Amino acid sequence: MRFARLFWKSRVYLWAVVIVLLFLLTGRAQAPNSPDYSLLFDKTDVMIPTRDGTKLHTEIYTPKNPTEPLPILIERTPYGIADDDKGYSRKLARYAEMIPDDYIFVFQDIRGRYSSEGTFVMQRPVRDPKDPKTIDEGTDTYDTIDWLVKNVPHNNGRAGLVGISYGGWLTVMGMLEPHPALKAVSEQASPADMFLGDDFHHNGAFRLSYGFEYSTMMETGKTNFVFKFDQFDTYEWYLRLGALSNADKNYVHGTLPTWKDFVTHPNYDSFWKKEAMPYLLTRPTVPNLNVAGWWDQEDAYGPMKIYELLEKNDPDHLNYLVAGPWNHGGWARSTGKSLGAIPFGSDTSLYFRQKIEAPWFAYWLKNKGSLPLKEALLFQTGSNRWVQFDSWPPRDSKTRELYFQEDGKLSFDPPQAAPETFDAYVSDPAHPVPYRHRPIDMTYPDDHPGGWPTWLVEDQRFVDNRPDVLTWQTGELTEDMTLSGSVTAKLFASTTGSDSDWIVKLIDVYPEKYPDDWKLSGYELMIADEVFRGRFRKSFEKPEPITPGAITPFNIDLHTANHVFKKGHRVMVQVQSTWFPIIDRNPQKFVPNIFEAKESDFEKATQRIYRSREYPSGVVLSLAPPAAGN
């Protein structure tokens, strides 16, 4: 046992040696990703009391025979702690690269979930700090840290907080009124605004399949619930569902608080604002490592927005950013060598865990080493390398606009056509464009590997030649083009309806012959994308109908990217008006509340995208020369 302890303190990361050691100690081999944690940690299972008397189920893992006081690293979760057959949490595997540094790991079920007491409230609103009797996730975090530093033996009085997705949001809540012992946090893939850019809406457009399946999963009981679809292809199921009002009538029956919130708050009112980060964050209170994935299918908007908000007032330089070529939480699992069919040339996730995350917490919680980044460290896709930035977006990027031209061409030259020149398509809510390859399985299947985690890197050729998708592309690039910063679509459009959605995709088109990886020949890889619900073009608070036939400007933020379009590749832009069922079907007829629309409200519409001297539609890119690698 002493030999095992010395082994871990030596900080050797070769799992093969771990397997041999565990075989010698226990008489049986362990899977490479499932070491016997009972040999490394003493576990304590407690119910930690909070200020209103509610007790939260908490598991504490202390390294055996500690030789010095150790910091506490806390992860709070609504998804369960997932103990193995020995009663040790499988979450420990997430921190394999940090275990050799010695931490007291703490995992906690949040209020009302799994083994914790109380009532669960989806993204529980932030309390009124003037009322000492009120509670929220921040007070639960504060009370948890307070109990831990006072009751857990061998702690050094310092705590760190980390979490992904909902756990990332919980991490941000813990920063708002931080406990004095909280010395470092890492917000990873936290939502920042559920109406403008994260899980439930994008620019006011409802994320139907995710919103329905997530709310049923979280609010049907204290543990995760899986809705049983009677069709494998959920595209067909949601189409058969019809108007959104049928969801409550046929399935929800008033039982899901979050679905009720969707229906009763169709616009950007105080309900959404009270939990949106622009109305909560003022300045960093503790060092924060924001972590984002370029192809995060759930919360790509959130961590970038949180970093942006905190960066506005960061005199003590506590705000940092890492972004990599990952899907939702992809940095916390596997090696990160690829995503779907797209290779990255190195173990990007392992690099983050070993070279960034572990040193980050060691620096703040153990006074060990140095900071692993200066400000922002972003993986540059296309060139497949890590790049350091003094700020993000970079200040030295220059904007250039790619304009839509005739014959599906895309060019930096402004169009010279007459004012009424346009491309058009008919958008039919009865035949919406799928957002990924069909069949589209459920978001979180429990019996097979699903397609949800990788849909953002799927080859977009599956919608080529659809009559309701417009496409423009450049010729082959004669030199590398580096996108480093913001992407904005500027559309001049009209519709025969009185409401419309606009979906814009920026795509890297690989050469038709790609000997480096033949399966990528001609591949169409989305680099940036977004949907905008036309009724909100003037205000997210007060939607207005679109005047049928009127040429109307729409500015659509496609957020930021760090990508090199390589020589020989092409740049493509696609525009469409449906993206189903990730986005609900816009009736294309203005109604006060789409959640209450009738079947008769849905109608076809003819969409026109203008590309003339007077109405020059296109995309604005922030371009920069290639930066020096890390």
- Between CA 185 and CA 289 the distance in angstroms is 7
Q: What is the pLDDT of residues 195-231, one digit of tens each?
A: 999 999 999 999 999 999 999 999 999 999 999 999 9
Residues 6 or more apart whose CB falls under 8 angstroms from that of 126 comprise 136, 138, 173, 176, 274, 275, 280
Domains and CATH numbers, the chain: 38-182 (3.40.50.1820), 201-273 (1.10.3020.10), 282-292+302-392 (no CATH), 398-623 (2.60.120.260)
pLDDT at 6 over 70: no
Amino acid letter at 546?
I
pLDDT at 514 over 70: yes
pLDDT, mean of residues 466-489: 98
Q: What is the pLDDT of residues 162-203, one digit of tens each?
A: 999 999 999 999 999 999 999 999 999 999 999 999 999 999
Q: What is the pLDDT of residues 566-595, one digit of tens each?
A: 999 999 999 999 999 999 999 999 999 999
- Between CA 523 and CA 520 the distance in angstroms is 5
pLDDT, mean of residues 486-499: 98
Q: Which residue has the higher pLDDT, 32 or 463?
A: 463
- Between CA 474 and CA 421 the distance in angstroms is 19
pLDDT, mean of residues 85-108: 96
Predicted local confidence at residue 422, as pLDDT: 98
In the chain, count of helices (H) and strands (E)? 12, 25
Predicted local confidence at residue 24, as pLDDT: 31
How long, in residues, is the chain? 630
Predicted local confidence at residue 626, as pLDDT: 53
- Between CA 301 and CA 559 the distance in angstroms is 8
Q: Please report which confidence band the pLDDT of residue 468 belongs to, taking 50, 70 and 90 as the band edges.
A: very high
pLDDT at 23 over 50: no
Q: What is the pLDDT of residues 54-79, one digit of tens each?
A: 999 999 999 999 999 999 999 999 99
Predicted local confidence at residue 10, as pLDDT: 41
Q: Please report which confidence band the pLDDT of residue 33 belongs to, taking 50, 70 and 90 as the band edges.
A: low
pLDDT at 610 over 70: yes
Q: Please report which confidence band the pLDDT of residue 337 belongs to, taking 50, 70 and 90 as the band edges.
A: very high
pLDDT at 22 over 80: no
What is the pTM (predicted TM-score) of this model?
0.93
Amino acid letter at 412?
F
pLDDT, mean of residues 47-51: 98
Q: Please report which confidence band the pLDDT of residue 85 belongs to, taking 50, 70 and 90 as the band edges.
A: confident
- Between CA 173 and CA 162 the distance in angstroms is 11
Mean pLDDT value across the chain: 93
Q: Please report which confidence band the pLDDT of residue 13 belongs to, taking 50, 70 and 90 as the band edges.
A: very low
Tokens of 268: 């950007």
pLDDT, mean of residues 470-474: 98
SS3 assignment, position 61: strand
Q: What is the pLDDT of residues 98-121, one digit of tens each?
A: 999 999 999 999 999 999 999 999
Q: What is the pLDDT of residues 442-452, one digit of tens each?
A: 999 988 999 99
Predicted local confidence at residue 35, as pLDDT: 84
Q: What is the DSSP string of 455-500?
A: GGGS-GGGGTT-TTEEEEE----SS-EEEEEEEEEEEEEEESSS--
Bond into 439 cis (ω within 30): yes
Q: In which element (H, E) is residue 208 found?
A: helix 208-219
- Between CA 116 and CA 120 the distance in angstroms is 10
Q: What is the pLDDT of residues 320-332, one digit of tens each?
A: 999 999 999 999 9
